[in-house]
Amino acid sequence: MGNTVGSLSSLLLNPNDSYILGLWAADRYLRSSSTGLSNTNLALIKRFLVFLLSRFPKSRVRIRIYGSMKENIFPGFKKSYCKGFKHKLVAYHVYVNSRPLVREFFNSLESRNLLKRSCLFAYFAGRFDGDGSMSKGKRRFFRIVYSNKEDAMQDKILIPGIKTSLYRYEKANTYCLYFSEKTLDKFLKKIKPFSYKLQ
């Protein structure tokens, strides 16, 4: 796939922004012309918020909170609260209304084969932080979950030096990209500097 946006976005050229691209690909919030991040992890929400504030004034950013909060951790932002949220963890949507940003995210994701090497691993760190997991025993597994096969296959071919296997879970209707133990340490070393979960 070639570049569909003319000049490349910082989402493909800057490691910090490439991490955001991976995080958005995993846990994006999308409503018509609005886009952002949906997550229960406050650290990831704040990281995405920093990205939005590098592009938009504070007045453009919106935050929706599902559940009760005891303190105001987003002073000065326009917030809405959704009561009756029954899950134990508080969930957050942080987003802006911007069709150009929606297009930039989708175009960059479609052109992820143009990610330069340092940005490639930052992108995977974002995907892992959003939709990945790793076991903590002698027998390790590392995986990233995808909602469709095409998305997973595009990521699989981005890292030819890393051994991976793709599995489909029919009941959940998801695909998991598993990373082989043989090359896992090499991969973890590359994404660790960018990943919140691996710090």
Question: Strand, helix or coil at 171?
Answer: coil
Q: Which domains does the chain have, with CATH numbers?
A: 10-110 (3.10.28.10), 114-191 (3.10.28.10)
pLDDT bracket for residue 3 (50, 70, 90): very low
Task: Say if residue 30's pLDDT is above 50.
Answer: yes
- pTM (two decimals): 0.91
The per-residue pLDDT for 80 is: 83
More confident residue, 32 or 129: 129
In whole angstroms, give the CA distance from residue 42 to residue 73.
Answer: 10
Sheet strands side by side (includes 34-39):
28-31, 34-39, 91-97, 62-66, 78-82
